[in-house]
Amino acid sequence: PDKVTRHSYQTMYGRFLLPYYHEHPTMKMLEIGLGCNMNYGPGASVSLYKTLFPQAELWEAEFVEKCVRQYRGSEMLQGINLLTGDQGDYGTLDKWISQSGGNFDVVIDDGGHQNCQIWNSFMKLWPAVKPGGLYFIEDMEVARHDKKRQPQAPCDSDVIVPEKLKEMFDVLIYEEYGQERRESDIEFIFCQADACALGKKLDADPASVWWNKAN
């Protein structure tokens, strides 16, 4: 998959995801984006995950329902739990959480790459990540492109996800954000070329919405 060819995502996944799996081999992981629109075809990352994480509970969410129907019975998707719909739609995201039971160890957003798709997904799915869990966002190198700034309620076209992450980073770094830092459920933000990883505090309050107050 392009995670380790065109991109170098093995940096963040090697640093965070592999060690997490070794500590939590039955982890529950959701990836957004089966790869139905990729020129090498769907399921490349699924094959990798099945090899690397044989004991994990794997969920895949995909926008193109026709593609999911086509490959649902294939060997490639054997043992994979499937969800369909628009990752930018709050109703769809609520349905995904309900159908899967939420409580994810890991979420990987490799979906549509629209800022509002990414942000709306984060707003709904980050609270569904377990304390101590991980959230990865890929392909943010295109975030400033006009075609990636389509509004999708409640997110508007002014939202650029890396800029939102910078606001969160400021809270973690600067002492003047003392109250926000105490309320924050983010343990760390790690960014590399094109992507970032967020880790949730082990003692995170499930009801924390500090990062949502001004958004």
Q: Which residues of the chain have a pLDDT value below 70?
A: 1-7, 37-43, 206-215
Give, as one character, the DSSP assignment of residue 175: G
145 belongs to the catalytic site? no
- Active-site residue, selected from the candidate residues 7, 22, 24, 113: 113
Give which of 107, 99, 45, 102 is closest to 77, Cα–Cα: 45
Residue 75 confidence (pLDDT): 74
Residue 8 confidence (pLDDT): 83
> Is 0.75 surpassed by the pTM of this model?
yes
* Number of alpha carbons in the 13 Å side-chain half-sphere of residue 7: 19
